Amino acid sequence: MSQKILIVDDEKPIVTLLKYNLEKSGFTTDEAYNGAEAVQKAETNDYDLIVLDLMLPEMDGIEVCKYLRNNKIETPILMLTAKDEEFDKVLGLELGADDYLTKPFSPKEVIARIKAILRRTTKANQNSFSSISVGNITIFPERYEAEMDGKVVTFTRKEFELLYFLAKNKGKVISRDQLLSGVWDYDFVGDTRIVDVHISHLRDKIEPDTKKPIYIKTIRGLGYKMEEPAR
């Protein structure tokens, strides 16, 4: 059964181009031309991935992404934008997009990104997960949940994946580039700010004092390391 992609863009030539190339590559497709239609379709259909333009009528891509994630719709999202602004990039990924591509793009590049996201998602779903504990934090990968002192802590998907990756590598110094590769499965060409932003958000949720972290330590000039807090 072929994987189904929802293409969301208000520019019909782009939708036509993506539809042709995705179907040529073996995917089935559906399309939406504004944010409200995208939300309606995402809530009532099962898609393997959503290609989501940033600039949309009615609801923009950021609003769509935020709405879907807030309503526990975890369909992977590849966000498209005509802007090459770091603010948009960081914000989109913070809100739960899985990857980000700037227009103009080649269909081959879009398909490569889609396959990378789907490959990572499939691998995560197929793995046999068991819980991991670090200090007072217990991570449940199969549920995409973590508890701290027995209480559920809410994370975005990327925050959770970053937390899980660090916990799996507890005690090891992990560079920002390694985190980009391991968590995002994509090389952001030296742009590691997104890692620092997500680390900051994780610390806000798990550290008793973000200025003196006991779980996620910064190793200057190298990266980050997750540790068992001192008793």
- For residue 133, the model assigns a pLDDT of 92
Q: What is the mean pLDDT of residues 11-17?
A: 95
DSSP result, the chain: ---EEEEE-S-HHHHHHHHHHHHHTT-EEEEESSHHHHHHHHHHS--SEEEEESS-SSS-HHHHHHHHHHTT----EEEEES---HHHHHHHHHTT-SEEEESS--HHHHHHHHHHHHHHHHHHHHS----EEETTEEEEGGGTEEEETTEEE---HHHHHHHHHHHHTTTS-B-HHHHIIIII-S--TT--HHHHHHHHHHHHHH-S-TTS-SSEEEETTTEEEE-PPP-
Burial class (CB in 10 A: 0-12, 13-18, 19+), 140: middle
Specify the pLDDT at position 27.
96
Confidence of residue 29 (pLDDT cuts 50, 70, 90): very high
Q: What is the pLDDT of residue 128?
A: 47
The tens digit of pLDDT for each residue in 185-196 reads: 665 545 678 889
d(CA 74, CA 59): 18
Q: What average pLDDT does this structure show over 196-213?
A: 93
Of residues 84 and 58, the one with the higher pLDDT is 58
Phi-psi region of 224 (alpha: psi -120 to 50; beta: other; left: phi over 0): beta
Tell me how far apart the alpha carbons of residues 183 and 99 are, in angstroms, rounded to a whole number: 11
91-118 pLDDT, tens per residue? 667 777 888 888 888 999 999 999 988 8
Cis, bond preceding 104 (omega within 30 deg of 0): yes
Supply 148's token pair: 């701290």
Mean pLDDT of 49-64: 92
Task: Look up the pTM and report it.
Answer: 0.66
How does pLDDT run across 126-149, given as a tens digit for each residue?
A: 554 578 999 999 998 877 889 998
